Amino acid sequence: MFLETKGTSDWWDGACVYQIYPRSFYDSDSDGVGDLRGIIKKLDYLAGKPESLGINAIWISPFYPSPLADFGYDVSDYRGIDPLFGSMVDFDRLVQEAHLRGVRVIIDFVPNHSSNQHTWFKESLSGRESPKRNWYVWKDPKPDGSPPNNWMSVFGGSAWEFEESSQQYYLHTFLKQQPDLNWDNQDLRKEMKEIMKFWLEKGVDGLRIDAVSWLSKDLQFRDDPVNPRYRENIDDSYHKLLHTCSSQGSKLFDYLNEMIDVCRGYENKFMITEAYPDVQGEISHYLKYYQRLNHNICIPFNFECISFPWDAGTYKNFVDLFQEALLPGQPAIYNMGNHDKSRLASRLGRDSAKTAAMLLLSLPGIPFIYYGDEIGMQDVYIPKNKAKDPFTTPEGVGRDPSRTPMQWNEYMNAGFSTTEPWLPLSTDYKQCNVESESRYNESFLNLYKDLIAFRKQSTVLRVGAYQSLELGKNIYGFVRENLTDKVTVVLNFSNETEIIDSKALKGRVVLSTYRDIGSNFNLNGHLKLRPHEGVFIAPS
């Protein structure tokens, strides 16, 4: 258990990654939509200056040409930049400027589906004989004319769309404007790998691979079984079925390994896969990605922490199990927020969101920070007439609330744009913005800066061993250590003061989520934590 989790010199080892949703980061050309030049303008905020946040890498959600049916996750040209976001010259400069500041660049790669406006799909539509026909998934109707099987779209309804002229259905796991590419077709795979090379040769350091679960399907296209645990009106309708046939097919890891081989043709390239388990909490789902793929290069996101209730025991049990299951050299990526989920500060409340920030930045592995979480941004109420996201949950909300413009200052449009932004701003932006957060001591932003800086200088936080402590019902505590150093992390999950007596708590508090602990505070097996407080303890 006390083996170090890694210890190689890969840049992603313990690195801190910042996710940018480019539409909402910074608008440089006053059209209300964030863009690549906007990201360049804000790089100093992220890294390279003493006052920067201090992150090591950025992951930029899609910026490719796209009809934007799913806001860029419907790509119509895999080798281009949508004019809305800028040009290839801007992209090259972005990579160069990021690298100058020591920031690695990870881009989103969307291999499972293209846009229906991609020339490949248009060719594919032209008839059964088209050379691109098999780059997508076409099937005959059942004898009664109904879809080939019961597969569902993640966004609701059947995953099949009937196409009149050829009298066949095509498959779309997401919107009907996002037809699934057929990875069983060798030519398609070859072209997708060429596209990966195109970006890697531009100097991109890593790829976040979108929606990988569906890259391989049941070869016989059998029906998905019914999910016996589905809760009507509670669960998303997609979970009516278990997706054992429509996803996670037998070739999945072969295809991902082919992508990994492309990365291995270069130095220092990294991949992260996006695959939610069909059944929540299923550790074996994640472990397959470690076991079947080259984890020196490719690591799966772990999404469990996004849906857990804020309960110390739940987190402790899960992380214990997961860390125990990982072998040395297999880092975790515990994800706590992204562009598809409700924001951290809204899910947990602002106080607990600080405790969660400390947890995220002190767990083993590679922390990903979703833009705006570092200033405590919350989900924004979006009136129906302003809604943009095509996907809506049973509660009638889409993913817009967590995709609103970054709040830079208290002035017009929160300093995001000089014109009305594409999504409404939060009403709290006058209080919650980068400038105001920089000014007051106990802010989210200052805490994130402290945590990131601490992690940067602390080998044990980045790659040390993990061992949890038994400290009481509301407390999650763990030790990160190696042969020469040790940091003890203690987090109060409750909104009450907690007094903890444990021989394990010796040394001095070096960082508190309240940001007001003197460095010579001495503990002797006794610690008092304020509501929601988290602390780092170092040996005295």
List, by residue number, the catalytic residues: 210, 274
Q: What angle do CA 46, 48, 51 make, to 5 degrees?
A: 70
Q: Which does 400 bind (CB under 5 to 8 A by kind): ligand GLC, Mg ion, none?
A: none
What string marks each residue from 181 to 210 as x (binds ligand GLC by CB under 6 A) or -? -----------------------------x
Write out the two tokens for 175.
Answer: 């919107």
* Cα(317)–Cα(342) distance, integer angstroms: 23
Nearer residue to Mg ion within complex by CB, 82 or 205: 82
Find, among 498, 509, 461, 499, the residue nearest to 482 by Cα.
Answer: 461
Angstrom distance (rounded) from CA 142 to CA 144: 5
259 binds ligand GLC (CB under 6 A): no
366 binds Mg ion (CB under 5 A): no
* Residue 281 beta carbon to Mg ion: minimum distance, rounded to whole angstroms: 40
What does the block give as tokens for 525? Answer: 């097996």
Residue 437 contact among ligand GLC, Mg ion, none, beta carbon within 5 to 8 Å by kind: none
Tell me how far, at minimum, the Cβ of 31 lies from Mg ion, in Å. Answer: 4
Residue 35 contacts which entry, Mg ion, ligand GLC, none (Cβ below 5-8 A, type-dependent):
Mg ion
Q: Among ligand GLC, Mg ion, none, what does residue 118 contact (CB within 5–8 Å per kind)? A: none
Q: Which is nearer to ligand GLC, 212 or 490 (CB)?
A: 212
Which x/- pattern over 21-60 shows residues binding Mg ion (rule: CB under 5 A)? ------x-x-x-x-x-------------------------
What long-range pairs does 337-341 form, CB within 8 A, spacing at least 24?
337/306, 337/369, 337/370, 337/373, 337/402, 338/19, 338/306, 338/368, 338/370, 339/19, 339/21, 339/61, 339/370, 339/399, 339/402, 339/403, 340/399, 340/402, 341/306, 341/399, 341/402
Cα 396–chain centre separation: 23
Count of residues binding ligand GLC (CB under 6 A)?
A: 9
Distance CA 507, CA 523 (A): 5
**What three-state secondary structure class fits 42?**
coil
Asked if 174 is part of the footprint of ligand GLC (rule: CB under 6 A), the reply reads: yes
Angstrom distance (rounded) from CA 441 to CA 350:
16
Q: Is 368 left (phi over 0), alpha (psi -120 to 50) or beta?
A: beta
Residue with the CB atom nearest ligand GLC in the bound state: 73
Integer Cα distance of 123 and 469 in angstroms? 60
Report the C-alpha gap between 317 and 320 in whole angstroms.
Answer: 5
Work out what residue 455 binds among Mg ion, ligand GLC, none; the CB cut-off runs from 5 to 8 Å by kind. Answer: none
Binds ligand GLC (CB under 6 A): choice among 70, 90, 379, 400: 70
- Nearest distance, CB of residue 27 and Mg ion, angstroms: 4
The number of beta carbons lying within 10 Å of the beta carbon of residue 93 is 15
Q: Does 82 participate in binding Mg ion (rule CB under 5 A)?
A: no
Residue 340 interacting partner from ligand GLC, Mg ion, none (CB closer than 5 to 8 Å by kind): ligand GLC
* Residue closer to ligand GLC (CB basis): 215 or 432: 215
Q: Is 382 in the site for ligand GLC (CB under 6 A)?
A: no
Positions touching ligand GLC (CB under 6 A) are: 70, 73, 110, 174, 210-211, 274, 339-340
Positions touching Mg ion (CB under 5 A) are: 27, 29, 31, 33, 35
